[in-house]
A and B are shown apart, each in its own frame.
Chain A
Amino acid sequence: MNDIGEFTLLLALATALYGCIAYVMSARGNRIDLYLSADKTPFIVWVCVTISSICLWKAFLTDDFSLQYVWAYSNRELDTFYKVSSFWGGQKGSLLFWTLLLSTYMLVVYFQNRNKNLRVVPYAMAVMLIIVVFFLFLINFSTNPFERIPLPPEDGRGLNPLLQNYWMVIHPPTLYLGYVGFTVPFAFAVAALISKDLDDGWIRMTRKWTLISWFFLCMGNLFGASWAYVELGWGGYWAWDPVENAAFMPLLIATAFLHSVMIQEKKDMMKVWNMSLILLTFAMTIFGTFITRSGLIQSVHTFDEATLGYYFLAFLFVIITACTTLIIARLPLLKSTNELDSFFSRESSFLFNNLLLLGIAFATFWGTIFPIISEAVRDVKITVGPPFYNQVNVPIGLALLALIGIGPVIAWRRATLSNLKKNFFKPILASLIVAIVLFPFIPLGNRAEIYTYVTFVLCAFVVTSIFTEFYKGTVSRMGLHEESVAGALTAMTWRNKRRYGGYIVHIGVVLIFAGIAGSQAYGTHTEKHLQLGESFEIRGYTIKYEKLVAIEATNIKTRIIAQLAVERDGNRYWTGHPEKEFYKGQNQPVSEVDVLSTWKEDLYMILADFQEDESATIKVYVNPMVSWMWTGGWIIAFGTMISMWPDRLEQRRRLDRIRKQEQLFPSPAQE
Chain B
Amino acid sequence: MHTKKIMTILFMFVWVSMGLVPDAGAGALLDDLENQLMCKCDDKCGKVLINCTCSTSDKTRAKFSKMLESGITVEQIVKMQVDKYGETVLSAPTKFGFNLTAWMTPFLALVAGGFGVRKVLLAWVGKKGNIDSIEAPVAESKISEKYSKRLKDELDGIEL
Contacts and interface: CB of A to CB of B under 8 A. Distances in A.
B38 A355 contact: no
B127 A338 contact: yes
Contact of B16 (A234, A395, A446): A395
A412 B86 CA distance: 54
A587 B55 CA distance: 10
A359 B92 CA distance: 19
Nearest to B111: A359
B102 A388 contact: yes
A587 B22 CA distance: 41
Contact of A446 (B24, B87, B90): B24
Given A374-B98, A378-B98, A446-B22, A236 B51 contact: yes
Nearest to B118: A343
Main secondary structure of the interface of B (DSSP, over half): helix
Contacts of A226: none
Interface stretch (B39-47, B71-79, B133-141): B39-47
B25 A385 contact: no
Interface string B54-92: 110010000000000000000000000000001111111
A388 to B, nearest CB: 4
B72 to A, nearest CB: 20
A447 interface: yes
A588 B53 CA distance: 10
A377 B113 CA distance: 26
A234 B90 contact: no
A395 B17 CA distance: 6
Nearest to B46: A298
B132 to A, nearest CB: 8
B150 interface: no
Contact of B156 (A382, A392, A419): A419
B98 A366 contact: no
B58 A383 contact: no
A348 interface: yes
Interface residues of B, number: 58
A343 B121 contact: yes
Contacts of B93: 370, 374, 382, 384, 388
Interface string B115-156: 001001110110110010000000000000000000010001
B53 A339 contact: no
Contacts, number: 162
B159 to A, nearest CB: 7
Contact of A588 (B54, B87, B106): B54
Interface in A357-382: 358-359, 362-363, 366-367, 370, 374, 377-378, 380-382
Nearest to A378: B98
A418 B155 CA distance: 11
A387 interface: yes
Nearest to B17: A395
B38 A383 contact: yes
A40 B16 CA distance: 59
Contacts of A359: 106, 109-110, 113
A413 B19 contact: no
B55 A382 contact: no
Contact of B91 (A233, A386, A418): A386
Contacts of A655: none
A355 B117 contact: yes
A319 B114 CA distance: 28
B105 interface: yes
Contact of A355 (B18, B98, B102, B110): B110
A37 interface: no
B46 A300 contact: yes
A396 B113 CA distance: 13
A359 B107 CA distance: 8
Interface in A402-420: 411-413, 416, 418-419
Contacts of B91: 383, 385-388
A264 to B, nearest CB: 14
Given A446-B21, A447-B21, A384 B102 contact: yes
Given A239-B48, A343-B125, A591-B53, A382 B43 contact: no
A268 interface: no
A411 B160 contact: yes
A249 to B, nearest CB: 13
B19 A391 contact: yes
Interface string A319-351: 000000000000000000011111100001001
A384 B92 contact: yes
B36 A392 contact: no
Interface of B: 13, 16-19, 21-25, 35-36, 38, 43-48, 50-55, 58, 86-93, 98-99, 102-103, 105-107, 109-110, 113-114, 117, 120-122, 124-125, 127-128, 131, 152, 156, 159-160
25 contacts: A234-B51, A298-B44, A340-B121, A348-B121, A351-B120, A359-B106, A359-B110, A359-B113, A362-B110, A367-B106, A370-B93, A374-B102, A382-B93, A383-B87, A386-B51, A386-B92, A387-B36, A387-B48, A388-B92, A388-B102, A391-B17, A391-B103, A395-B13, A418-B156, A447-B23
Given A239-B48, A340-B128, A380-B88, 19 more contacts: A234-B50, A236-B51, A342-B125, A366-B102, A370-B93, A380-B86, A382-B90, A383-B38, A383-B88, A387-B35, A387-B48, A395-B13, A395-B16, A396-B106, A411-B160, A422-B156, A446-B25, A472-B159, A608-B53
